[in-house]
Structure 1
């Protein structure tokens, strides 16, 4: 069935009114560089709100004729859309939230290219340089709140979850909203939307009219996780590593709902940080939670963590089943500890500068077949570094599942191969097999074909 499309010319809502001729030229240059396709594809994902495809390549193929152009006029800039998804419009006028998200895409892509990339002020090969870049991108987006008490809860979880799990995430968001907490998620559907939706009701009851519903994404994932309509602040980070760092730098507590490999990647990322001995005194509350039906899921996650990273990792998080109020109360307690620690050490409430993030978690990991096979998935390393390498393994599986480049790579060369110790690979195989059985790899529309295969040293000898 042909997709309904519209042409339109739209003006920005907000403060992005002018671009230089050089910036406009880069955005329109289809012959050199990646800026135009990056802008085009991310904009298409924003416009496709409500039609979650779970496949970045399918979205681009469905709207092959879509085009977006920047028009610089004397009174400011406009965007000219051609063959845009009609669902982004009401009676021919673009939905305001989608309009705001479109110009957020433009703002962040232009800023990163013009100010961050190839700028000697930002050494993106060093840990400090990458953290500095993350801070400047967030500051340019205007999302940090420097004169407020800590109150931002980061919520992670899957886009492919059951209706019961989604409803539970709303209940937790509601309890957080009643207590005045703002919500930050990956901006997509499922467990990324539920907490925001619940918080809007909690805020409304408390007559909080300035609630922040912050979505942080990156170009590789946005096509399969289009920003949900509740997001009122959207930030496009350059890659998944800077996206994850942004979460932990600005968040004051982290809540994890059920999910799949993307959620496992997030869990391993934060565990790698918390297991790093240099972070042992820095409080950052981490809670796993879900309804009664998710008890077995978190038992499985818990078992995987203990088997691969050891019992010390189990001390880094708490598990709360089917009790949204208890989750919210623990967030209150945990964030109070964060506030007192930041006050004592002089660290900012709005950006966690003291947290040490190992360079292995910051450098962009490109999931090629060679890189995936070369991952160090062995026990003869500190637990926080094993967690970092497992994070990369899950990141590669996410790419092979839903990202355009990863899907094409799997079609061309077959499944990624991951090789490691039996004590690591066996728990990993159990976890991934359960994700497949529970339809947590992708939206349950087709039969899942694994983009990976696991081997041990004895298999590869």
Structure 2
């Protein structure tokens, strides 16, 4: 291993060169898999490089996906297949991922998770992979395959709670997420989040202490991300199972398929996107009787945030949508008790309907919620955001609107589109647009859009 340094914007960021060998979980790759990961012509090598750099800067709180690229412009990763296994050669890698010349074990595990998931994607989901990605059943099968390959699916009693919330939250809100995670951990529940900082880290941190107190032997802290957002939401250090889904839609489906209940903490547009995705699914007739505990919670100071979210849901999706969630303010223990009670109902339902505990096959997710949405200016302006539509149909387009704003805020492709063509324009029913504009303005005023610096809107709501 040799040391070097990388300069960006006048700052010097220490780097190292290293040769890494896997230790369980991913021991070998085929020659075809290695060739695809090294192929620059398809963009796969650049994708590997960006995701690997995000993992090597684990714990970073920057939410600009270009920051790490600017700090470590000379970083590179090469995958090599050997007769007895595989190795990774890192050039000009962030020194923060190493201690006394050795890569941090948790970082190494996440790094090999990146290689594993991108290799699976290149082969199984590539043009010649043979998978049907144009049908509901085919997409769900692909999600299952990715999760199984990542060893996320475990045949155990339901105990996995998905926690959603913002990466840019106040210290009070962050501490509250830890308290909730602690109460969940005391009751033997594992945690799954989007793997980043803020509300994605807090529940894992709290649960980690509780699991230690309860002497839990194999607690799971699952991080589910996707290539477009991993650089802006670098995995937090507590994640011990990382899976990189190909796009946001498969990421959202993964949350719903593996989670036994969901808790929503305060957040911004990404959290609103997740809420609309789930409600749009739960409001469909075939899912009406499906138990799925959904709790919105935060400290007392966050009560106005959830009141505004609740008003927006009632205006857009109708009063029926409110029956699918419960709002609990400033009571972590009650949140955990309610979640435990809800998961017991999930367990009974799965047994009665002969559904698996580790993957929710019963919930119906229509193709409109599964197909990748590319937020171009034309696509954003064409969204049908008008009253009179079925709630789940409107929810699908509202979800896309928020997804586009997320892309403009933190994803490289989206940020590039905004730089070239200006803000996205969002059109729709006047009353709905006024409510949307008020909600987005509140996010900006409460600094829920960006961790550092002033926020420049990537959108314009046309009222």
**Structure 2 length as normaliser, TM-score?**
0.96
Length, aligned pairs only: 453
* Contact 2:49–2:77 under 8 Å retained in 1: yes
* Contact 1:308–1:427 under 8 Å retained in 2: no
Give the Cα separation in 2 of the matches to 1:116 and 1:254. Answer: 28
Where does residue 282 of structure 2 map in the other structure?
Answer: 274
Which among 177, 183, 207 is matched to residue 175 of structure 1?
183
Deviation at 1:16, TM superposition (A): 1.3
Which among 17, 21, 33 is matched to residue 31 of structure 2?
21
Deviation at 1:409, TM superposition (A): 0.8
Q: Match of 2:12, SS?
A: coil
* Residues 366 and 390 of structure 1: CA distance in aligned 2, closer, same or farther (over 3 Å): same
Give the Cα separation in 2 of the matches to 1:373 and 1:250. Answer: 33
Deviation at 1:63, TM superposition (A): 1.6
Query: Which deviates more from structure 2 when the two are superposed, residues 115-124 or residues 424-433?
Result: 115-124
Where does residue 222 of structure 1 map in the other structure?
Answer: 230
Whether 1:206 aligns to 2:217 is no
Whether 1:101 aligns to 2:110 is yes
Unaligned runs of 5+ in 2: 1-10
Which among 453, 459, 463 is matched to residue 446 of structure 1?
453
Whether 1:138 aligns to 2:152 is no
Q: Match of 1:215, SS?
A: strand
Whether 1:87 aligns to 2:96 is yes
* Contact 1:300–1:431 under 8 Å retained in 2: yes
1:247-296 superposed Cα distances (whole Å, 9 cap, x missing partner): 00010000000000110110111110111111101110000000111111
Deviation at 1:73, TM superposition (A): 2.3
Whether 1:69 aligns to 2:78 is yes
Where does residue 298 of structure 2 map in the other structure?
Answer: 290
Deviation at 1:5, TM superposition (A): 1.1
Where does residue 356 of structure 1 map in the other structure?
Answer: 364
Which among 21, 39, 56 is matched to residue 11 of structure 1?
21
* Contact 1:39–1:109 under 8 Å retained in 2: yes
1:24-65 superposed Cα distances (whole Å, 9 cap, x missing partner): 1221122x1021111110000000112222011222232211
Whether 1:313 aligns to 2:337 is no
Which among 218, 224, 232 is matched to residue 240 of structure 2?
232
Whether 1:249 aligns to 2:261 is no
Root mean square deviation, CA, Å: 1.0
Give the Cα separation in 2 of the matches to 1:197 and 1:15. Answer: 24
Q: Match of 2:143, SS?
A: helix
Q: Match of 1:301, SS?
A: helix
Give the Cα separation in 1 of the matches to 2:283 and 2:128. Answer: 33
Whether 1:36 aligns to 2:68 is no
Deviation at 1:207, TM superposition (A): 1.0
1:388-424 superposed Cα distances (whole Å, 9 cap, x missing partner): 1111100110010011111111000000011111121
**Structure 1 length as normaliser, TM-score?**
0.97
* Contact 1:57–1:407 under 8 Å retained in 2: no
* Contact 1:169–1:195 under 8 Å retained in 2: yes
1:210-240 superposed Cα distances (whole Å, 9 cap, x missing partner): 1011000000000011111111100000000
* Contact 1:27–1:70 under 8 Å retained in 2: yes
Which among 162, 165, 190 is matched to residue 157 of structure 1?
165
